[in-house]
Amino acid sequence: MRNRAFPCLALLILFASSCGKPKETPEEAFNRFLDGVHEKDCKRVFGSFSSASQEKIREEAARAARESPAYAKEFTPENFYCTSVYANRWIEYNRGSAKPGKIEGTNATIFPTTRKGVGFALPGFSPFRWRNVPTEVRMVKETGGWKVDLLTPTTEQALAIGAREKAIAKEREAMAAAQQQRQEQLYRRCTNFHLVAHWSFNAGPVDGKITDETGAFVAELLGAQIVEVPEGRVLQFRSDGEALRLPETVLNHRPCGVIAFGFRRDDAQTLNRVLLKVWPGAFSETGIEIHPDGRIHYNVQRNVLTGAGSLEPMKFYQLTFVWNESGMRIYVDGRLEASLDKPVHIAAYSTLTELGRDPNNPGKTGSRMTIRNLKIYEGIPSEGDLVALAKPPQ
């Protein structure tokens, strides 16, 4: 009889003890957490957070220690929300103020109050009075107890996140629409292959200026001379400082195009700066150079292409330079000399475009070369167009 009564007595005692010690509610757990913050009981404070929140605190503490190494000792995970400056986030709550909210399974919402200043005489000064404002806090149940949840957003945070996501989505839509508009514009411009400017040099300069054959652009002669040679009238550069300055708009905002001209090296020692489009005092946005070894160097937006062969001195070549979404190409007398399969375009960052010298060092640079029949196109040429442009001069 005694053996049978003992299990029943044990169960009765256990039931009585469980009834005598009710489980802690979410608001009670948070109030106890606030007591720990104010009493600087860092072990209790850190233990009041959920396991996932503790991992987040470790990450935040490590980041704060990296950003402020002088205070690294204060930024341990246990001290982070207890004694460091980041504890102010919780000190602002009124102790014992948490009120019950809604419990859904292992998640709960509670409403402690914080003090908010009302009526400022001047911004940054103390308010006339304070009032208690309910603030939403999330709790999560772990191993039978309620813990502070830093990961689940509150209603206010969720609204802010939703608004931010909508703003980001709207911005992405606007960017996609702008990109689509640019692509359509590029398509229209690049499928319409047409002549932009053409300097044949058949007519002499007027007051040091040469109007192109289309009548739309006027170039400025800066020492370079139009002379007669067996091949016809040409533009010649004979000493340092001589140049032909093209209007800025000729090559600005050209997503695709072609530059074609007849070219002759007039000695075997000079670095010929055929065409340079530069930002004053800075880099060359677009450049065509023939080095003393006779090799062609062509760059667009820091993308550089170098020819494999060499141009002989005192011999005319037809040079053709292509740029577009498919990349860059160099043709010499109709033969593909070099190519780069990378989208490029000529922008409008640079404001000086000159033939014959470096606009950023005009007095100490020059060329010894002859140019004939300079043509600039916009668009992507067809095979027939390219054959005609790259045809060697007769």
13 confidence band (pLDDT: 50, 70, 90):
very low
Where is pLDDT greater, at 351 or 54? Answer: 54
DSSP calls for 141-209: EETTEEEE-SSSPPHHHHHHHHHHHHHHHHHHHHHHHHHHHHHHHHHHHHHS-EEEEEE---SPPBTTE
Residue 365 DSSP SS3: coil
Distance CA 236, CA 60 (A): 68
pLDDT at 394: 62
CA gap 129, 352 in Å, rounded:
64
The percent of residues in the chain predicted with pLDDT above 70, rounded, is 91
Q: Once rounded to an integer, what is the mean pLDDT over residues 162-166?
A: 88
Q: What is the per-residue pLDDT across 225-240, written as a single tens digit (0 to 9) for each?
A: 999 999 899 999 999 9
CA distance 359 to 263: 20
CA distance linking residue 352 with residue 44, whole number of Å = 69
Closest CA to 148 of 113, 115, 114, 107: 107
Structure confidence at residue 153 as a pLDDT band (50, 70, 90): confident
* pLDDT value for 8: 46
User: In this model, does residue 147 exceed pLDDT 50?
Assistant: yes
Kindly report the average pLDDT of the chain as a whole number. Answer: 88
Distance CA 372, CA 374 (A): 6
Average pLDDT for 272-294: 89
Stronger pLDDT, 120 or 26, i.e. the higher one: 26
Tokens representing residue 236 in the block? 């010649």
Closest CA to 34 of 82, 74, 102: 82
Q: The whole model's pTM is what?
A: 0.61
Pair of tokens at residue 22: 């009710």
